[in-house]
Amino acid sequence: MTHNALTDAQNKASMHFTGPALTLAIPGSGKTTLLIHRLIHLVEIHGIKPDSILTLTFSKASADDMARRYQEKFGHTEHHFKFMTIHKLAYSLYKSYLKSIDKQMVLLDDGGQKYQILNDIFKKRHHETLNEDDFETLSNQIGLIYNLMLKRDQTGGHEFDWEDIFDLAEDYHRYKRRHHLYDFDDMLISAIQILKKSPALRMNLKSKYRFIQVDEAQDTSKLQFEFIELLLGEEQNLFLVADDDQSIYGFRGAYPTYLLEFPSRNPDASLYYLSDNFRSDANIVFTASKLIEGNKQRFQKEMKPFHDAIIKPQIKVFDDLDKRNNYLAEQLIDQANSLDSVQTKAILYRNKVSAISIVDMLERNQQSFQIKDAPLREFAHWLLEDLIAFFTLAMIPQDLESFQRIAFKMNGYISREMLNYVKSNHRGRSIFSVLIEIPFLQDYQTKTQERLYDQFEQLKRLRPYDAIHYIETELGYLDYLKNNTSRLGLTMNYARTRLDAYKAIAKPLKSGFDFITRISSLKAFLQTNFANSNEAIVLSTIHGSKGLEFDEVYMIDVNPQIFPGFKAKENDALEEERRLFYVGLTRAKKKFELLHSEFINGSYNGNSLFIDELISQSLTEHTFNNVMGKSATSQK
């Protein structure tokens, strides 16, 4: 370390003065420390005014964290630096422009308001309603088009879920303009247009912000890079700090290609490397380094551990989700109540649905925790609402709404004509009584409806865990899912993962009413109890954990077709999934465990590609152990 507590690599990068520069910073290498020290160096060594330096980052949380850490380290100085997101800078520019022309625009609510607009647009073209999953996908893909500046005939190799995605995007933006609304993408688009149309304003900003630093540059989109480049003066004083191996927001338009092409586009650019990992056990560092070598589109870089090797990463295999959760309870709850020093522990997962059975387990045990981006939408997922409709109809056979929801999703062989008859004639009576009396049915069809009535009577008497299995098998719901997963944009593994989570919640309950009540109470709990930032136990998607670190990390649901996702079969998409796994692995300081369930909802759950890649590393001297009860290699 140098006299100012920086490594030689950090010190060298922090002394960079003018001209373009790229610093490649591996996980845990002290990039924020570097950026803060460079600010001080520019001011105190080169006499640059603090308000001439602009430090931009991807998220508000990162900007706030950098400002906090600067204050803690150099709060005694009189320097006042600007830390902000790229969107905030674009917003301030756009807002000033609107004020100058006496015009007002309203920022679009990214939740319910945006859903209503996109749903109306989608229904006009597709004649069906957007479900929650499709809304999120459509919103992301429209943002992707604009952030990557894609053309209809130049999709950049991206696969979209709808053939008319560009028409949907244009309809959405026309609606916003017509109703004087704007969203985050509009901030950037409009700011760029303003700068291009107003050379005087552009020159003013160039002289105002002589130096621009960009943190987390691997998360920056093509559109954002264009905006930043418009602000650069003749010296091109752009200082990027990034790790192309941690670029995980491709679905939002992150553009790591900009980094890979930076040296060739800027032959005079300085290139720095931060290779020391100050965060993780050496075993974790070696394993992560080996894993990410599976990607080809990246800078080759070294990752050196600062800490000794103590505990190797492990894969632990369990029979099912229930046994996995019991193990997690032992690791999280018992140790959290011990008198030992507090250890931060994170449960990380690819998709939010993985959190709900863990939330249920922790809440039942009255264990405090925090959760990043609570999975509230999961409690309104159509698959869960289907199950609730089955339970409701069993308990209240007069419930027409529940019957309409599931009429064609079970083996009752109900036709559209039969449904219309029930709607016209039920008048508060039992749905099954009306089905049995339909005059145009053949005898065998009537017997089928009598059987259906008996099955729902049986369903009413079952405990919820057994009832879900009964719905899947005896009532044919699993067959419906198998026949429709492709149309619904799912895989069976994804559907089984959800059903498994619902069964875990249902297992200790006694009745269908208890199940419905429990789902409602968990949703209410998450609405009010997920933001406590002081708890040692953290639940998060891997995306949400980026920039954080924990003493212990437990990664769950690394299953085929889920992680990597079923669409990520090759090239860029697969490489981004591997980068996501790498980010999750490198959050761990002392201990990393991947918890794998051998069976999901009763079906064999083989190894994900990433589990196989980790297992293959066991042939080297630096990787992880075999696991609890059985050898990980036996899963091949």
CB-CB contact of 542 with 248 (8 Å):
yes
Element (H, E) at 318: strand 314-318
One-letter amino acid of 226: E
With DSSP H G I counted as helix, E B as strand and the rest as coil, what are the percentages for the chain, rounded to 5? 55, 15, 35
Q: Is 345 helix (H, G, I), strand (E, B) or coil?
A: strand
Would you say 124 is a known binding-site residue?
no
Strand partners, 213: 55, 239
Backbone phi, psi, residue 261, to 5°: -95, -5
**CB within 8 Å of 466: residues ≥ 6 apart:** none
- Cis ω on the peptide bond leading into residue 313 (within 30° of 0)? no
Q: How many Å separate Cα 160 from the centre of its chain?
A: 18
CB-CB contact of 550 with 564 (8 Å):
no
Torsion of CA 522, 523, 528, 529, to 10 degrees: 40
| Distances, alpha carbon 558 to alpha carbons 436, 581, 598, in Å | 46, 9, 11
Which stretches of 430-548 are DSSP H helices?
431-436, 443-461, 464-473, 477-484, 492-506, 512-528, 542-545
- Rounded to whole angstroms, the Cα distance separating 307 from 279 reads 8
Would you say 32 is a known binding-site residue?
yes
For residue 157, is it left (φ>0), alpha (ψ between -120 and 50) or beta? left
Element (H, E) at 589: strand 588-597
| Distances, alpha carbon 297 to alpha carbons 90, 257, 434, in Å | 30, 9, 63
Q: Which residue has the tokens 């992150």?
A: 254
| Distances, alpha carbon 419 to alpha carbons 119, 319, 439, 467, in Å | 26, 42, 13, 24
CB-CB contact of 563 with 350 (8 Å):
yes
Would you say 29 is a known binding-site residue?
yes
Torsion of CA 194, 195, 197, 202, to 10 degrees: 130
Q: Is 54 helix (H, G, I), strand (E, B) or coil?
A: strand
Report the candidate in 503, 478, 214 with the shortest Cα–Cα distance to residue 357.
503
Report the candidate in 400, 374, 110 with the shortest Cα–Cα distance to residue 252.
110
- Rounded to whole angstroms, the Cα distance separating 96 from 352 reads 38
CB-CB contact of 463 with 505 (8 Å):
no
Torsion of CA 577, 138, 349, 486, to 10 degrees: -80
Would you say 28 is a known binding-site residue?
yes
Would you say 616 is a known binding-site residue?
no
Would you say 284 is a known binding-site residue?
no
| Distances, alpha carbon 261 to alpha carbons 73, 149, 244, 585, in Å | 35, 17, 11, 27
Q: Is 488 helix (H, G, I), strand (E, B) or coil?
A: coil
Residues flagged as binding site for ATP = 25-32
Residues flagged as binding site = 25-32
